[in-house]
């Protein structure tokens, strides 16, 4: 359609109405209007022309010529990124090796099991383990934390391993950056997850050489076990501290009572009343009583032989009996007093109180020392085990980057973005036009 062509016009024609003189078919105003007399003419009457009702606007014309904007945008936003991704992943990207290990955190509990399958009874020392879900989550979270990075830096040089010469700048790490950036980079190079259904945790460590990946995986596994044991053994070490404080208090108490007992001995000049005074005097009195009984028995024997009272043997026995009685009376008098003449009951009473407290404090020291040794042995024992049933091994081939998949993903993303942008631009143009 040319620009000079007439506009499209669509006219709705009203058909001519037949003339009638019947007033019933005339309009109300026409019924009362004066009737004009028809005029006769030799020329025929011209036919009535139909008038148009409305007209439609002119349709837009399609512009001639071809637009190259879509092609140029496709080359810039799709073809060029795919080409760059192909060059990078195909020729420049460094190979990354993965060391993987799978583990389960277990709590050891020593138990004794007996077996009598052959008729005998044998005791076997076994270790029953049970899965600990919180500890598994603690280990997996620790592997991604800054603490894990700092612990690894004490064993392996992460900065040097991830910035080796020959690695591409996009994937390598700048060793001059602070540890916070190293933690962010580390979280990209390691993955740790825990499956609560199976109770198995998996860790994968990436590095630019197989040896580096294996060394980092072994160090990370060892550090994880140390950290979880420190966390789990903290109450046990607190028990050790409490036991040490109890031993210290019991020792100080024993020292105090020993000082009081030493002061009493120095004052009374008696080492131990029960053993040095009472026991000695009692033993001596018992010995004199035995001797006196024997002498009286001999005297009775001689009297039955019808000897006179003035017989030399009877006189000698009577003299010995008299001397023994005097000595026994003197000893019995000394049993109730000490060397200074003080009542022995008072001295013994003063001695028994600090001595009893000393013995009690000494028993407390012994019991608390036993508890302390048990607490220390329990703290030094390993209770939590990170059991790797799939140990880290030396990788033989690189896993990352996945070159073909990465190029495909870049192409798909760029194509989708380009398509969305193209649709948006065309929609805006049509809205403006």
Instruction: State how far the Cα of 218 lies from the Cα of 211, in Å rounded to an integer.
Output: 11
What is the number of residues in the chain?
433
* DSSP string for 11-75: --PPPPPPP---GGGS-HHHHHSPPPPP---SSPPPPPPPPP---PPPPPPPPPS---HHHHHHI
**Within a 13 Å sphere around the CA of 260, how many CA atoms are in the beta-carbon half?**
16
Percent of the chain predicted with pLDDT > 70: 68
**Which range, of 136-145, 170-179, 263-272, averages the lowest pLDDT?**
263-272
Confidence at 2, pLDDT banded by 50, 70, 90: very low
Q: Which residue has the tokens 């109405």?
A: 17
Residue 283 is encoded by which pair of tokens?
């033993």
HSE, CB side, 13 Å, CA atoms: give it for residue 38.
7
Q: Decide: 181 and 172 in contact? Cβ < 8 Å.
A: no
Q: Name beta bridge partners: 400.
A: 96
pLDDT at 80: 94
Q: Which residues, other chains included, contact 4 with Cβ-Cβ below 8 Å and sequence gap of 6+?
A: none
Cβ neighbors of 305 (< 8 A, separation 6 or more) are: none
**pLDDT, average across residues 343-368:** 73
280 pLDDT band, cuts 50/70/90, is low
For residue 139, give Cα distances in angstroms to 193, 195, 196, 213, 232. 10, 13, 13, 19, 12
Residues 92/168, Cβ–Cβ less than 8 Å:
yes
Helix or strand (DSSP H, E) at 386: strand 384-390
Q: What stretch of H or E contains 106?
A: strand 97-115
Q: Is 403 helix (H, G, I), strand (E, B) or coil?
A: helix
Q: Give the Cα separation of 409 and 67 in Å (integer).
A: 29
Q: Strand, helix or coil at 100?
A: strand
pLDDT tens for residues 79-96? Answer: 999 999 999 888 888 889
* pLDDT tens, residue by residue, 218-273: 999 999 988 888 877 777 777 788 888 888 888 888 888 777 777 767 776 666 65
pLDDT(323) > 90: no
What is the rounded average pLDDT for all residues in the chain? 75
Peptide bond into 342 cis (omega under 30): no
Q: Are 285 and 332 in contact (CB under 8 A)?
A: yes
**Cα–Cα distance between 152 and 142 in angstroms, integer?**
12
* Torsion (CA) 37, 39, 45, 51 in degrees, nearest 10: -40
Q: Among 42-56, 126-140, 253-267, which stretch is predicted with the lowest mean pLDDT?
A: 42-56
386, β-bridge pairs: 105
pLDDT over 50 at 122, yes or no = no
CA distance 108 to 127: 6
Say which residue the tokens 């053994």 belong to.
233
Bigger pLDDT: 125 or 287?
287
Determine contact, residues 390/101, Cβ cutoff 8 Å: yes
Q: What is the DSSP letter of 109?
A: E
């Amino acid at each position: 359609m040319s620009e000079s062509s007439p506009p499209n016009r669509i006219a709705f024609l009203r058909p001519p109405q037949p003339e009638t003189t019947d007033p019933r078919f005339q309009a109300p105003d026409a019924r009362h209007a004066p009737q004009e007399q028809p005029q006769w003419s030799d020329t025929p009457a011209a036919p009535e022309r139909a008038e148009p009702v409305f007209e439609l606007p002119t349709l837009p014309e399609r512009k001639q010529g071809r637009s190259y904007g879509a092609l140029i945008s496709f080359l810039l936003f799709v073809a060029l990124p795919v080409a760059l991704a192909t060059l990078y992943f195909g020729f420049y990207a460094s190979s990354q090796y993965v060391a993987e290990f799978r583990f389960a955190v277990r709590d050891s509990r020593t138990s004794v099991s007996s077996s009598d399958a052959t008729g005998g009874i044998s005791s076997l020392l076994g270790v029953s383990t049970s899965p600990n879900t919180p500890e598994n989550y603690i280990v997996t979270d620790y592997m991604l934390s800054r603490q894990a990075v700092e612990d690894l830096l004490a064993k392996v040089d992460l900065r040097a391993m991830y910035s080796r010469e020959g690695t591409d700048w996009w994937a390598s790490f700048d060793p001059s950056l602070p540890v916070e950036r190293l933690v962010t980079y580390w979280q990209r190079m390691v993955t740790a997850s825990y499956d609560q259904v199976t109770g198995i945790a998996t860790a994968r460590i990436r590095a630019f050489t197989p040896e580096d990946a294996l060394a980092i995986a072994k160090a990370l596994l060892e550090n994880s076990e140390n950290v979880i044991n420190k966390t789990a053994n903290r109450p046990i070490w607190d028990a050790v501290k409490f036991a040490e404080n109890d031993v210290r208090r019991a020792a100080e108490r024993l020292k105090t009572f020993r000082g009081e007992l030493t002061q009493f001995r120095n004052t009374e000049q008696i080492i131990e009343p029960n053993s040095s005074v009472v026991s000695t005097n009692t033993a001596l009195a018992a010995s004199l009583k035995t001797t006196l009984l024997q002498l009286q028995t001999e005297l009775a024997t001689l009297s039955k032989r019808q000897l006179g009272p003035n017989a030399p043997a009877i006189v000698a026995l009577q003299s010995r009996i008299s001397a023994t009685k005097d000595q026994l009376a003197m000893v019995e008098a000394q049993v109730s007093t000490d060397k200074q003449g003080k009542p022995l009951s008072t001295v013994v009473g003063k001695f028994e109180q600090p001595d009893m407290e000393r013995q009690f404090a000494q028993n407390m020291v012994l019991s608390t020392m036993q508890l302390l040794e048990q607490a220390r042995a329990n703290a030094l024992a390993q209770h939590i085990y990170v059991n790797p049933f799939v140990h880290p091994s030396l990788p033989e081939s690189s896993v990352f980057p996945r070159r073909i998949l990465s190029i495909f993903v870049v192409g798909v993303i760029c194509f989708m973005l380009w398509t969305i942008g193209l649709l948006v631009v065309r929609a805006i143009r049509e809205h403006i036009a």
